Amino acid sequence: MAPMDLVEFLRARLAKDEQIARACDGASWAASPSGTVHLDTPDGGPSEPRFVASVENGACAEHIARYDPARALLEVAARRRIIDDYEKGAWVLEQGHRTEAGEAAHAARLETLRLLALAYAQHPEFRPEWRP
């Protein structure tokens, strides 16, 4: 397995997630019990003209609102930091600073990347060997 391929795959998926979230204004969403989702205003009240979606029930609306563009952008940033940490660890090992603890930490970071990749397991470029 080539770990850098996994890194590139994850970075590409995160870039797409970010692009889509930003296209939705990157705003927070709120749900109503009636099953509608709307942009959340700074004061916490619904913004009448900024309707997002209507779904079957309040639970579906709440789910959609919880995974709004603002949250997606935060998750992209957090996952990028995890990938950056992996790459820093790989660089340290490449510089010859190999210890048993360093190797174990790097293996744990790689396992974390594999876990992150599971969210994209249905993507055509996902490789079975990336499964944890």
Q: Which two tokens stand for residue 82?
A: 């995890």
Q: Is 40 helix (H, G, I), strand (E, B) or coil?
A: strand
Same domain flag for 116 and 77:
yes
Question: Which amino acid is it at 123?
Answer: H
Tally of domains in the chain: 2
Tens-place pLDDT, residues 72-101? 999 999 999 999 999 999 998 888 888 888
Q: How far is CA 60 from the centre of its chain?
A: 20
Which residues on adjacent β-strands are paired with residue 127?
none
Look up the domain containing 31 and give its range.
27-66
pLDDT for 49: 46
Task: Please give the average per-residue pLDDT across 15-42, as a whole number.
Answer: 84
Q: What is the pTM of this model?
A: 0.82
pLDDT for 47: 46
Same domain flag for 81 and 47:
no
Same domain flag for 56 and 116:
no
Residue 2 domain-assigned (yes or no): yes
Distance CA 51, CA 32 (A): 11
Asked whether residue 27 carries a pLDDT value surpassing 60, the answer given is yes
Same domain flag for 82 and 111:
yes
Assign residue 96 a region: left if phi > 0, alpha if psi is -120 to 50, beta otherwise?
Answer: left
